[in-house]
Structure 1
């Protein structure tokens, strides 16, 4: 599917939310949609501030101010900063190429493309949030639990794809699906640090192609 398609989907969703919000203000409905609009603003502001300042450096009053609401009003939507981070984390994971591919079914040929997508400029926020999640997980048990579940789901998805390819005779039957899945995730975790380690290679086509080729070799595709 690729990063461009995912960005198009995001833009379409944002446009649809904007049109819906405008229409509903004109209808004067019961306020439910206004609440959803406020929640979206909170989540968007929180994601940006968590990525820029970290979990500890982002206060609820600061997130509320960035969302255009009062400090007290933010607690009508989220009981705590930890709960807010959990929702931001959930949304960030669901927006990644790997999870967006889930509905299309597991295919080993898609994995190299998915990994290389993390080298694109458009995924900067996802990379930043993913790093912050791992940092916050060392201090917050709820975040740690969500991260463990997300990692387990990702590795199971990849392992199932590899096992299926083996049954179809497309991959080496001696390859251990669980090990290959874990190695793939470790590889992706390294790419999440590109903004710090390799900022000059973000968006570089040659680097993206190299990553894709290496991951293909890693799991024996092609």
Structure 2
């Protein structure tokens, strides 16, 4: 379970997020929508453990990770979180297979098993024939699909996606959104999708609106 309680964040004395609370059960998938500049990416960074709240609690499976030291937080992100952010963060010196297998390597799983899992995810996002390709050979939309495969390969407890279909054509957008939803529900993970797209939000269990006053159904 993910429990977010009274989360607040200030920048340069300005209150960007206030009193954000949210509870997700295993297998639940929610969308967060809102106007540009309202703090959607800031909220996602806090939930991802990439930034620290000024106040509030972030509890994943009973552990308040807002209070963890950096080493413990790094291990939690490695083991339990999957990220699909607008900046792909695909490593240019690794093949697509190696990029997707990276979360498994970081957890100590190597060899052919990790490669087979990476190939399976590349196939699922429509890049099964590109496993040996290099990132510089891909379009922006293909890079996004690699990022999605990498986020899912280690079966994380919490999947966070920031505009994951922004660089995709409608057919591939529908494909990866379907994959995200299926993986979240089938594995009993939890998912948070930040999006401007009403079509993308339709595939989630709940749609929440982020405003300067907080998060609302």
Q: Is the TM value for this pair above 0.5?
A: no
Q: Which has the higher helix share?
A: 1
For Structure 1 versus Structure 2, the TM-score category normalised by the shorter chain is under 0.3
- TM-score, normalisation: structure 1: 0.26
Q: Which has the higher contact order (CA 8 A, sep 6+)?
A: 2
Q: Which has the higher strand share?
A: 2
Pick the structure with greater CA Rg: 1
